[in-house]
Structure 1
Amino acid sequence: MTKVNRARSTSPPDGGWGWMIVAGCFLVTICTRAVTRCISVFFVEFQTYFTQDYAQTAWIHSIVDCMTMLCAPLGSVVSNHLSCQVGIMLGGLLASTGLILGSFATSLKHLYLTLGVLTGLGFALSYSPAIAMVGKYFSRRKALAYGIAMSGSGIGTFILAPVVQLLIEQFSWRGALLILGGFVLNLCVCGALMRPITLKEYQTSQEPNHVCRTQKQDFKRTSPCSTWTKEWVQTCLCCSLQQEYSFLLMSDFIVLAISVLFMAYGCSPLFVYLVPYALSVGVSHQQAAFLMSILGVIDIVGNITFGWLTDRRCLKNYQYVCYLFAVGLDGLCYLCLPMLQSLPLLVPFSCTFGYFDGAYVTLIPVVTAEIVGTTSLSSALGVVYFLHAVPYLVSPPISGWLVDTTGSYTAAFLLCGLSMIFSSVLLGFARLVKKMKKTQVRILAKESDAKLQLWTNGSVAYSVASELDQKDRESVAIAVPGYNPT
């Protein structure tokens, strides 16, 4: 039945089972990104139990986040060569195992390996394949579908944070991790929803691989033990990987990758330092936590509404520009943050930053698909999320070092804001250069067409004149005996 569905699905259905894919991706983002954010709820418990400082305990969250993005290409490879269903289910088993083993931890190093590395690896195998599946099922309403699917991060954080705190109070941090490990097993259910689909573009791109596999099987039949067989297998594997990651040589994707590095550096520190900054300007603990709640809720609104707006006919062709606009505005919010030193001023900041944060997160897969196409979307998203890993790992410590060195948050926030603005300007400049080159090519093409037309008309005129001249000569030769026409 799966093969029949693959053969008949020749174009994105923009609905039908696609909404089940959106629901599955929504649950995947809850079980991965929301659970990662909720790990911060355990920080105080870990500090108290293991008697360690904040810096050492904070590495748990950094390792989970970094592993999720660092191993995203591995998730793409597994889903491409096995299936998306297998990749997400395997990721759910690994993430659940990491959380359950973490509940038996006797040291922070144990938590680094289980809750950090193992759980992060499981999240990586599940996250990027699920997001790529949404792009394969939707074309006309892609931004709206991504907005709904990725809003699971904000909704999950809003719901899970108090629930996890309640579980810690009732069953201690060990019992809470154990229950959370059981909850993450729902990734296996999400994986079961990811029904494969094969598009026309995908079928054409896979024809060389199919021919390669057929020839390889024939060659194995003729010489099963020869060294030529091994060389042929290696060649086919290299060709497959080269075709799968051919987008890495595209200039547009290289520019996107560089801009993602600067964007990821800027977006991460705020979620770590907004509460400490609010406390430093005299806001109470409850009000500072309220700012984070506002940030999470408005993030959901940005996911859904911005996705819906950019799917409208008037903005459909400007989704790339909308992405630049959202990233740039978040950078401007950063630049204004050091001047906001009271709760009435920080609330509008949380609303604005949260909205546009959800907006550009929704458009990352859309912009990537616009550059590389639907066929390579899974692999390209794996690379894009992989590029988030290093900035996510180093930006909070760098910002903390700036705070310790300068004694204020101004330098840290300005650096983050300028990084995001540079990311937006870089992409905008690249798009402007590309349009200018296209305009020059069109002008040159028109000029060459005009010259070709003149040359053709001249050739025709010359050939007609020569024919008339030849006829005149022949007529004279007939009238005058002995006249040579040459």
Structure 2
Amino acid sequence: MGDVYLERMLSNANMNRAYVSAIFSLLESITLGSAPISTVFTNTFGCRRMTIIGSILGSIGFFLSRWYFSVYYYYLTIGIIGGIGCGLIYLPAIVSVGYYFEEKRSFAMGIAFCGSGLGTVAFPFVMPWLIDKFFLNDYKNGLLFESALILTCVLYGFTMIPLPIEPSEQRRLRLKARSEMTRQIINQKSNINTQNNQTNESMNQYDSLPFLMTSANNVPNEQRRLPEDRRHTTIPFQNTSCIDGNANNQNDRVWESRPYLSSPHRYSLVNRLTLYNSTLIIAGVAAIFAPYSGSHILPHLIYATFFGFFTGGYVGLTSIITVDLVGIDKLSNGMGIILLFQGVATAIGTPAAGAMRDAFEAHARPFLWPYFLFGSLVALSGAILFALPILRRRDQNQQAFYEPPLNTNDLSH
């Protein structure tokens, strides 16, 4: 976005490049840094609602920026309001793909992240052409067009049908179960007051009632097999067991599908993690050599191809590795923490790189040290992650050592 609007905004502002470029740095930083807030709301209200709310909020931010020009005003409208809105869209868009796909999750995530790459390639060419041809060479009309594009995400939000695996849906089921339990208890008390004989008879039979549960709807199966005069007594106990048992059953299914190192699926995790770490290291090394591209276009194209290809690899694998490590039920929480640190790094790294570039402006390669530092940190992060399987195996061994053995004789009594 900075490639499209930076020069045009500079021509209208009486400030240097650092102040104006901070608009777009703030937008990206808040988009990523607001991920923990987006996580809380997504877990509570679901991907669909938060995508719709984020689309409306982000659209309002860009819409307001059309009618008044000030760099500080843009900090608020584009950077903060637009950033929070885009953050509420971004995280649900990632985690919803993980919820919808299980067997082909990696492939689905790759397709989803391709959209960002296509937009990054197309917009620097399309937007200037639209501004020059259709928007009277006024970038403010382009911001209005961006507002309309963001608003279209409302339509995509409506397509995110809630699934039972989503934390928001599990929370809704638990609340529904509690409500049903309370209502049935009230009905039971009324029946107890009017039918004492039937209640006393049923109280003697509590331990022998068969409760067959369905984890999705929280209702007893084959309840019709019970005598008519004892059916109402099954509901409170059924709902009491269902409140926690349904959530535990849901978590058990997810737990069994997690590819821990001790499971038969451990090699899939190791292979994906190795690929993820390798893409980080290669992208970092490519960034280190970027300042040596010179003035010819071909070396820059080679660098951009290498860096873009391997950067896309680890970006697409981030959510997949997160599912492998924490499970699908904690995907939104894990991605929220990861995006928060990315947002902090963006907020710090962008001005730091600019300051280093200004400090070494007199040198033949002023970007040498910023690229060297950036590339070295990226490669180092990939190398550090190779220790992750060892740490996970140690934690599992410690957990197995301290976990007390299950005494089946105690349970039988």
Establish whether TM, by shorter chain, passes 0.5. yes
Q: Aligned partner of 1:350: which letter? A: A
Relative to structure 1, the CA distance from residue 212 to residue 385 in structure 2 (aligned partners, 3 Å threshold; closer, same or farther) is farther
**Aligned pair partner of 1:358 in 304, 308, 312:** 312
Aligned to 2:143: 177
C-alpha distance in 2, partners of 1:366/1:55?
36
C-alpha distance in 2, partners of 1:119/1:202?
25
Relative to structure 1, the CA distance from residue 355 to residue 65 in structure 2 (aligned partners, 3 Å threshold; closer, same or farther) is same
> How is 1:189-338 mapped onto 2 (pairs within 5 angstroms)?
189-199=155-165, 318-338=271-291
**Aligned pair partner of 1:134 in 91, 97, 100:** 97
C-alpha distance in 1, partners of 2:166/2:49?
23
Shift of 1:206: 8.3
C-alpha distance in 2, partners of 1:86/1:348?
42
Aligned length: 320
Alpha-carbon displacement from aligned partner over 1:164-192 (angstroms, at most 9, x marks no partner): 11232242112111122112111101101
> How is 1:437-448 mapped onto 2 (pairs within 5 angstroms)?
none
- Quick check: 1:85 aligned with 2:85? no
C-alpha distance in 2, partners of 1:100/1:52?
23
C-alpha distance in 1, partners of 2:323/2:35?
16
Q: Aligned partner of 2:66: which letter? A: S
Q: Which runs of 5+ in 2 are unaligned?
A: 187-243, 249-265, 403-413
Q: Aligned partner of 2:75: which letter? A: Y
- Quick check: 1:409 aligned with 2:367? yes
- Quick check: 1:349 aligned with 2:303? yes
Alpha-carbon displacement from aligned partner over 1:325-353 (angstroms, at most 9, x marks no partner): 10011111122223332433332221111
Q: Aligned partner of 1:332: which letter? A: V
- Quick check: 1:158 aligned with 2:121? yes
- Quick check: 1:425 aligned with 2:389? no
Structure 1-normalised TM-score? 0.59
C-alpha RMSD over aligned residues: 3.4
C-alpha distance in 2, partners of 1:317/1:424?
14
> How is 1:366-405 mapped onto 2 (pairs within 5 angstroms)?
366-405=320-359
- Structure showing the higher helix proportion among its residues: 1
Relative to structure 1, the CA distance from residue 440 to residue 57 in structure 2 (aligned partners, 3 Å threshold; closer, same or farther) is closer
Shift of 1:405: 2.2
C-alpha distance in 2, partners of 1:372/1:209?
25
Relative to structure 1, the CA distance from residue 158 to residue 386 in structure 2 (aligned partners, 3 Å threshold; closer, same or farther) is same
- Say if 1:75 and 1:382, in contact at 8 Å, map to a contact too: yes
- Percent identical among aligned pairs is 24
- Quick check: 1:123 aligned with 2:86? yes
Q: Aligned partner of 1:56: which letter? A: Y
Relative to structure 1, the CA distance from residue 431 to residue 45 in structure 2 (aligned partners, 3 Å threshold; closer, same or farther) is same
Shift of 1:314: 8.8
Shift of 1:163: 2.0
- Quick check: 1:45 aligned with 2:11? no
Aligned to 1:272: none
C-alpha distance in 2, partners of 1:60/1:218?
56
- Say if 1:167 and 1:175, in contact at 8 Å, map to a contact too: no
Relative to structure 1, the CA distance from residue 433 to residue 184 in structure 2 (aligned partners, 3 Å threshold; closer, same or farther) is closer
Alpha-carbon displacement from aligned partner over 1:23-79 (angstroms, at most 9, x marks no partner): xxxxxxxxxxxxxxx243111111111232111101110111011011112222222
Aligned to 1:75: 38
Alpha-carbon displacement from aligned partner over 1:182-236 (angstroms, at most 9, x marks no partner): 121111011011011113999889887777777899999xxxxxxxxxxxxxxxx
- Say if 2:269 and 2:324, in contact at 8 Å, map to a contact too: no
- Say if 2:58 and 2:84, in contact at 8 Å, map to a contact too: yes
C-alpha distance in 2, partners of 1:201/1:50?
46
Q: Secondary structure at the match of 1:104?
A: coil
- Say if 1:340 and 1:346, in contact at 8 Å, map to a contact too: yes
Shift of 1:117: 0.8
Relative to structure 1, the CA distance from residue 213 to residue 429 in structure 2 (aligned partners, 3 Å threshold; closer, same or farther) is farther
Shift of 1:357: 0.6
C-alpha distance in 1, partners of 2:48/2:173?
23
Alpha-carbon displacement from aligned partner over 1:220-273 (angstroms, at most 9, x marks no partner): 9xxxxxxxxxxxxxxxxxx9xxx9xxxxxxxxxxxxxxxxxxxxxxxxxxxxxx
- Say if 1:202 and 1:375, in contact at 8 Å, map to a contact too: no
- Say if 2:163 and 2:169, in contact at 8 Å, map to a contact too: no
C-alpha distance in 1, partners of 2:165/2:53?
25
Alpha-carbon displacement from aligned partner over 1:293-335 (angstroms, at most 9, x marks no partner): xxxxxxxxxxxxxxxxxxxx99675111111110011111122
Q: Aligned partner of 1:324: which letter? A: N
C-alpha distance in 2, partners of 1:378/1:317?
22
Q: Secondary structure at the match of 1:151?
A: helix
Relative to structure 1, the CA distance from residue 369 to residue 202 in structure 2 (aligned partners, 3 Å threshold; closer, same or farther) is farther
Q: Secondary structure at the match of 1:67?
A: helix
C-alpha distance in 2, partners of 1:432/1:350?
34
Aligned to 1:474: none
Q: Which runs of 5+ in 1 are unaligned?
A: 1-37, 221-238, 244-312, 446-486
Q: Aligned partner of 2:120: which letter? A: T
Relative to structure 1, the CA distance from residue 161 to residue 316 in structure 2 (aligned partners, 3 Å threshold; closer, same or farther) is same
Aligned to 2:106: 143
> How is 1:55-66 mapped onto 2 (pairs within 5 angstroms)?
55-66=18-29
Shift of 1:137: 1.2
